[in-house]
Amino acid sequence: MDTQLLTSAIVAGNRKDAKALTEQALAEGLPPQEVLDSLIAGMDEIGGKFQRNEAFVPEMLIAARAMKEAMAVLEPVLLAAGIKPEFTAVIGTVQGDLHDIGKNLVAMMWRGANFSVVDLGTNVPPEKFVEAAREHQADLVGLSALLTTTMPSMKATIEALRSAELPKAKVMIGGAPITPEFAKEIGADGFAADAASAVTVARELVAG
Amino acid sequence: MAHRYNLMTGQERVKRMFARQEQDSLPRMESFWEDTLTRFKDEGLWGDPNDLLGSDFRGLCWSSPFPYPGQNITIAEDEETITTRDEWGQVNRSWKHRTGTPEHLRFPCMEKEDWENEVKPRLLANGPSVNLQDAKRSLAIGRRRGQWCHLTGLETFEITRHLLGDELTMIAMLEDPEYLVDVSRTVTDLVLRDFDYLWENCGPADGVWIYGDMAFRSGVICGPPLYRELIWPDHKRMADWAHDHGIPFIFHTDGDVNSVIEDYIKAGFDCLQPLEAKAGMDVRHLCPTYGKDLSFFGNCDVMIYATGDRERIEEEIRSKCEVGKATLGYVYHSDHSIPPSVSLETFEFIVDCVDRYGNYN
């Protein structure tokens, strides 16, 4: 089968087609890595459209949902073939903040980009980020905050991560009040203004 | 200390602002986070900081059609947080001892059937969501103070997101637009029914002010074509209601809405607020570009206020008030709400700057 169909199903957010085509591709003996790459290409395409204002949050959401359904079919096959996501990310909303919409969207996009994502939820204290980053040998730690009042928690979390000596773990931050200047000021490795650019920045950071 | 020219009442000032007629000074108002009010009180402010500023605006009501009015059921709690089912039917986890956006755990319309069989029938069976006695009292105070008194309520996209949650709302926009439109038309009818009820029983108001966040920092949440097809007709109905009653329509949205301003003008919006600076909204561009068709309300950057840097704060207020005054169609407000990182002393300086740069010559 033409793997472009898989990519197109993800871009269109057509979950039924994404699932059925994944099943068909595997049944026809396509290598699972090739199937995965085609699905990821779809998420990349929708992410690019988002950044060019050609697609918006609703289109991103249905694409991510189609990806999730396709991955439910593909993941056991990948595992059986010994193929694991190359990178692991830990994500959470920092201590003092219960807001989760942005964080959930970024987690969804990272999963779509084939990161293994450990979502710590909201109101996450610095030590919990450190513990999870160590336990999962995270390549990336994502910190989210909605409120100006919880921005200092980001700084505290980055300080805790640096003190814990986890050289592999790059830290990126995001959220409504966050600016690139603030990210630089508190020593974050990266900043993303939206869920689509969170994928681009994450890939750049883990690539070193 | 500067002094505001106070030759007009707030009501006159705002009416003249909408008519692009000369005013003595810029109309003004401010919003605050709860924690900011606590801080100001701790630092010695007695009363409402809007009295310190001299607010020209007064809300009469808050139209918010809840499916479960009065509901507040505690489901779980720990030392820091409490999980409740509220008037919307949402299950949320919130802080017990401070303010902040809650974590949304469940929404009342997780399935379309929840809307059709439970939530919609409840909404239609409920009476007005506004309190008539409170509105009458507020109107009497507003009239005594000479303020511009407005009907206030939520707009359709905001209400829909309260009922379905963000994710299902946005998926429905693409996959089941008829469902989305049914929710949108129904809740808009209810808000307008509230306004009719108050107009008849409380008396005429000076304007309508509708709240709904349509955008985030990088742009609009849904694309302009989807907005035009699904949401815009109800926005226009709300603006039409105001105009049919001879009063202007203010729309509140956070985020970057630059790409839909023309649509807002076509819908009949008269004023846009609060114009979030960090999202790229800037009255120094908006006023010269759209100032004939649209008034602008806000845009002074709270992130600059939070620095406490007086030079930067003064320049922020000066530059935005000056360009706003040039169109006669500008109202002072911050670009969101004053955060608790702003001290009372800084806020007093902000008021002084608004006095200094808000006067018309």
Q: B75 and B202, same structural domain?
A: no
Q: B101 and B116, same structural domain?
A: no
Give yes or no for a contact between A83 and A32, defined as CB atoms under 8 angstroms apart.
yes
Q: Is residue B2 part of a domain?
A: no
Please choose, from the candidates B134, B167, B166, the residue with its C-alpha nearest in 3D space to the C-alpha of residue B151: B134
Give me the residue spans of the domains in chain A.
4-80, 87-207
Q: B59 and B19, same structural domain?
A: yes
Task: Give residue-wise pLDDT tens across range B180-203.
Answer: 999 999 999 999 999 999 999 999
Task: Give residue-wise pLDDT tens across range B200-227.
Answer: 999 999 999 999 989 988 889 999 999 9
Q: Is residue B4 part of a domain?
A: no
Task: Give residue-wise pLDDT tens across range B49-77.
Answer: 999 999 999 999 999 999 999 999 999 99
Give yes or no for a contact between A144 and A109, defined as CB atoms under 8 angstroms apart.
no
Q: B80 and B44, same structural domain?
A: no
State whether A177 and B278 contact (CB < 8 Å): yes
Averaged pLDDT for residues B79-107:
90
| Active-site annotation holder among A17, A44, A97, A139 | A97
At residue A79, the pLDDT reads: 92
The pLDDT of residue B99 is above 80:
no
Q: State the average pLDDT for chain B.
A: 96
User: How many CB contacts within 8 angstroms connect chain A with chain B?
Assistant: 83
Q: B220 and B101, same structural domain?
A: no
Give the position of tokens 């992130």. B303
Q: What is the phi/psi pair of residue B136, to 5°?
A: -65, -45
| CB-CB neighbors (< 8 A) of A16 in chain B | none
CB-nearest partner of B171 from A56, A62, A193 = A62
Q: B211 and B100, same structural domain?
A: no
Q: Is residue B3 part of a domain?
A: no
The pLDDT of residue B1 is above 80:
no
Q: Is residue B147 part of a domain?
A: yes
Q: How many domains does chain B have?
A: 2
At residue A59, the pLDDT reads: 94
Q: Is residue B342 part of a domain?
A: yes
Q: What is the phi/psi pair of residue B91, to 5°?
A: -100, 120
Task: Give residue-wise pLDDT tens across range B15-29.
Answer: 999 999 999 999 999
State whether A96 and B339 contact (CB < 8 Å): no
Q: B73 and B216, same structural domain?
A: no
B166 touches chain A (CB under 8 A): yes
Residue B67, preceding bond cis, omega within 30 degrees? no
Task: Give residue-wise pLDDT tens across range B5-18.
Answer: 889 999 999 999 99
Q: Is residue B159 part of a domain?
A: yes
Please tell me the distance in Å from A62's CA to the nearest CA on chain B. Answer: 6
At residue A201, the pLDDT reads: 93
State whether B100 and A147 contact (CB < 8 Å): yes
**Ranges of chain A with pLDDT below 50:** none
CATH architecture, range A87-207: 3-Layer(aba) Sandwich (3.40)
Q: B99 and B190, same structural domain?
A: no
State whether A179 and B174 contact (CB < 8 Å): no
Could you say which of B48, B82, B107 is where a domain stops?
B107
The pLDDT of residue B33 is above 80:
yes
Domain of B121, CATH number, reads 3.20.20.210
Q: B142 and B213, same structural domain?
A: yes
State whether A13 and B220 contact (CB < 8 Å): no
Q: B173 and B35, same structural domain?
A: yes
**Structural domain of B175:** 10-65+109-358
A positions 123-142 inside 8 Å of B (CB): 123
Under CATH, which number does the domain A4-80 receive?
Answer: 1.10.1240.10
| CB-CB neighbors (< 8 A) of B93 in chain A | 98, 122
State whether B101 and A59 contact (CB < 8 Å): no
Q: B127 and B34, same structural domain?
A: yes
B303 touches chain A (CB under 8 A): yes
ipTM: 0.89
At residue B3, the pLDDT reads: 86
At residue B73, the pLDDT reads: 97
Q: B96 and B56, same structural domain?
A: no
Question: Which pTM does this prediction carry?
Answer: 0.91
Q: Which of A46, A52, A61 to mutate to test the interface with B (most CBs of B within 10 A)?
A: A61
